[in-house]
Chains A and B, each alone.
Chain A
């Protein structure tokens, strides 16, 4: 099944005219003598929303950090969009800066800067919080500021490192919709690292499963949006992904 998928992807890849946002060839990352990533091959195009699933310790976050430039591959070729940004699991806002300054953290200071920050904040529905201190925000609001900061740089590649994991269930649902809508509008290539199979199916165009140092599963999500968890096809894909992740059907409650 895997090889079949890959063959189909190659054909689609050839027909796809969208520019490449990232390209990996034979990427290896050793920690000591253990190869966490062992020959990763991957290409993602602009506008593609890719979820990266994997059990704990399979190197999802390592791969994302390599893409972000925060870690280096031991060997192999890594080519990524020059303009990229990250939303981490924690908001990581500078507490001593007002919200809008956080949004334009890396930008040169000028007259346009505040305007750009306000626009980005308006997009995440926090236009009125521009002059607040990060300490006064709720967890969900802070994460939306982090999202605004990531999008304010107009990234070609947006890296999301479990950005919803620390949010409560209701806030998470709203964040899913917001991220989906903003990525639709800005069309970056997105790589989302997550543990949550449902989240991956709801949001992505394509799902990868990382195991034993390589991409063991790579499939497009064929369902139209907005997606419903109650669909039969949703359930089937969910079961398949859980099996890939080593969770047997009898392990799950629902």
Chain B
């Protein structure tokens, strides 16, 4: 290209100070996945902690009865499995939390849809639910024991009461958060109110509803732990109560970790549900 003759006096001025900006080829490259080096550095702190724990107990720095070393906890799992206690307890606890979650989440969903879709529903349900929401569900335990006794009823009721609100709040917010312009467009194209609710509002609010469900699943676990402190005759809570009576700290720690694993399991399931239910939002693009 021939140089453009310049007629402006600016061209004759002193040269501008220029800087080099880095380009990708100069900058260090970032790998997409987790590099082995990074994985190692992430695992470092937990492993060190575990090592310190083992060392502290093994050397007698901490009494074995107070804080048994990780190896003892692992042995406790072996004991629980060999006696069959673990296999018996897990399905019982899982069933409790899932039944409570299904009932509570279902109620929250129905109430949230009613309040979100109908003005009358909002008038009827929203204020009372917002008030009840502020009651810490653990405070209800004594009352539930009077109402439902110390059997399964009180446990399920507690989980039920705790799991209504996250689903309710997120469903209500999700339904109300649907772009009114979208609903207007659906009306223009002669979609009946039922069709608008089922085909436009509900699917569009689903991400928010599932966030509520995931949150409720976490709360269900919390409520399970609290509920199983009520005279449990089965489940993880029963193992814990027994261990408490027998002063077995290793089994108690094993039980606590069991609850944590249950929480991780529930979270993994909920994420999978979200991926399956929301193909239109995810990173997986079909076209």
Residues of A bordering B, CB below 8 Å: 68-70, 85-86, 88, 90, 92, 94-98, 105-106, 129, 131-136, 149, 153
One of A68, A69, A96, A129 near B206 (C-beta < 8 A): A96
B205 vs chain A, min Cβ distance (A): 9
Determine the main DSSP class of A at the interface with B: loop
Instruction: Evaluate contact between A85 and B186: CB separation under 8 angstroms.
Output: no
Q: List, sorted by A's number, 13 A–B pairs whose CB atoms are closer than 8 Å.
A: A88-B185, A94-B186, A94-B200, A98-B280, A105-B185, A105-B199, A106-B186, A106-B190, A106-B195, A131-B287, A133-B280, A133-B286, A133-B287
Determine the main DSSP class of B at the interface with A: helix
Instruction: Evaluate contact between B191 and A106: CB separation under 8 angstroms.
Output: yes
The digit string for B150-192, where 1 denotes a CB below 8 A from any CB of A, is 0000000000000000000000000000010110111111110
Within the assembled complex, what's the spacing in Å between the Cα atoms of A251 and B280? 47
A162 vs chain B, min Cβ distance (A): 13
Known: A88-B181, A92-B184, A92-B185. 18 other contacts (CB 8 A): A68-B188, A85-B188, A86-B185, A92-B181, A94-B200, A94-B203, A97-B280, A106-B186, A106-B195, A129-B287, A131-B287, A132-B286, A133-B287, A135-B280, A135-B281, A136-B285, A136-B287, A153-B189
Which residue on B lies nearest to A98, using beta carbons? B280
Which residue on A lies nearest to B187, using beta carbons? A70
Within the assembled complex, what's the spacing in Å between the Cα atoms of A190 and B115? 39
Interface presence of B204 (CB below 8 A): yes
Instruction: Evaluate contact between B188 and A94: CB separation under 8 angstroms.
Output: no
Q: Which 6 A-B pairs have the closest CB atoms?
A: A96-B203, A132-B287, A106-B189, A92-B185, A106-B190, A133-B280
The digit string for B230-271, where 1 denotes a CB below 8 A from any CB of A, is 000000000000000000000000000000000000000000
Tell me which of B181, B189, B199 has the highest count of chain A C-beta atoms within 10 A of its own C-beta.
B189
Question: Which residues of chain A have C-beta atoms less than 8 A from B204's C-beta?
Answer: 94-96
Instruction: Evaluate contact between A85 and B285: CB separation under 8 angstroms.
Output: no
Instruction: Evaluate contact between A97 and B199: CB separation under 8 angstroms.
Output: yes
Interface presence of B279 (CB below 8 A): yes
A120 vs chain B, min Cβ distance (A): 13
